[in-house]
Structure 1
Amino acid sequence: MHTGLGICSQCGAQGTIGTKCEYCGSTITISHNSLGERNSMIQSWDSFHHDGFTIVHDNCIGETDCPSYQVVEGIRTGKQGLIDVNGVFTVPCIYDELTAYLDYEICCVNVDDQYGVISFKGETIIPLSGYEQEDLFVIQHKFIVGFNLVYDIHGTLITRFQSDERIMLLSQSLATTYPNGHGIYRINDGGIALPSDYSVVKMYCDNLFLVSKFTNGATRYGVYNTDSNRFSLRTEFLSIQYRDNGRYEARLQTILDNGVTEMKTLTFFIKDSDIFIEKEEKQSFQTGSGNGCVFAALLGMVIPISLYLLL
């Protein structure tokens, strides 16, 4: 009778040969050493072979030609786990679904619609809970769970906030919907980048938000830059619209002290996560009259909005 370290033929969990598996209750019969010798020289996962298990390539997320781990599925059970290049099941095949994030060495797992996060060693980071799979995101070594929890990569709760909806960005910022409006959180420390009193918060690019606020009978628009923690375009513009060739148009109406209404139109584009003004046009007219004058001021060079606001 064989003794020593072996693995379960159903889920791949390690244990003593001849004993029952602590995860699925099957008898451990396969020699751990024989499996390791068989797969220790794996150069490509296409050459992996073990009776009862198959590789699930699509469940690994990360850019690498030959990852050190792969998601495996038990042919008889349909359960998923994780195996390394030596053929060692670091996570037994006991989960209904397992997604491996190679860059972070963590797995998002699902059992009976309970979702959680474990390490590649099988250690629990975030316990199984009732939130849905699409409500768990991994970004910048942070977990966003549901609509109001942010954890670090070790499972430590960073912040808890109240919201009904959220948009993930790579800039470690989080646009959220609150009962009384929209705002922006910083997910690295849980701080508020923009208070939740805006009508709409939408994403422009990685670190720019289009925001709007209803004030004095009109909706005003602006663009907020989370990297610099400032408005690239203040919330004073009547509209911001995409035109063509990557250009945007922002319109601002101002009533001067002498009663003249001035309409300003800025043409801008986004580059390197910031706004650059390309052209400015102004139209002024006396309130109540149809006469007015139009002039266009073409800037001699394209300048970033940070310099334009100082002019």
Structure 2
Amino acid sequence: MPEAARTSPGRLLNAQNRILESDERRAQAESKLADALARIQALESAAPSGEAWELPVEKLHEVAGRRRYMAPEKYAELRENLRHNKLVHPVVVLPRADGEWDIWSGHHRWDAHKDLGKPTIRCVLGTADDEVEATTGAFFANLMQSDLTDYEKYVGLKRFQEGHAGLSQTEVAERAGLSKQFVSELFAFDRLPAEALSVIEANKSMIGSSAVKELAGLTEAGKGQRVIAAVKLLAEKKLDQGQTVKYARATDAPAKPAATPETFKIKAGKTTWCDVRLVKNVMRLEFKDEAEAAEVQKVIREHLETIAKSRAEAKA
């Protein structure tokens, strides 16, 4: 730190320097604000004609709830297309209080521009009046896309319902233009165990609402753990959706009790001559002396051969 000024002229000079620095910072802030306002005004004036403007990629921001799912292979195709061609459909943005922009729709086009190192992207100004309308507008626009997963439709409808307190599922279905049955199936995601739902969230395209409805019913019937296990197997691609429901529906077979061995000792006087152990169809004989074991083995073999021969003759 520089030594503090000790004289009145020195203190006055320091004060003047601080004022100058403050004025410079204020001027820079005012310049940035004026630039941002100019961009907003330009986009607003261009909005009626649909004219697009190039905005810095780094000035755009993602808002939770507006991005739709795109399969990795489709995104790769989009990125390679934009590597060689101009963007046809501009990104739709909404102005932020700090002079930058929130993305309403076009997240994957924005991602591709970032991945390709492009500094700007063509944008048009959206018309939403508030946050809920922006998210709802993006969701209903995405809802018409065939590659939106059932899980994402559920998340969007749930967020829409939460943003419009008091709406029933039937009213949500009417607003979304979907059948009541389909909306009921989508809301079945709500009734899955939290652990199963987190697996689906990480693999959004892995399961449809019809299978989820079945799993939700099984969860409410007390088979939550089977449902969790089934969903994990589906995520690992060890089951398909039909097999997943069957697996969750199945009842674990009760474990068979272990067979109790039967044991007894053959004694010669007070001394144990042979220990015998029988478990189901297996008999084990243990002798103290190897020679006696060999002798008994010979006798047992002869006896067993005699029994086997008589059984064979009886069946003839």
The one of the two structures with greater contact order (alpha-carbon pairs below 8 A, sep at least 6) is: 2
TMscore range, shorter length? 0.3 to 0.5
Q: Report which of the two structures shows the higher radius of gyration computed on alpha carbons.
A: 2
Higher strand share: 1
TM-score normalised by length of structure 2: 0.34
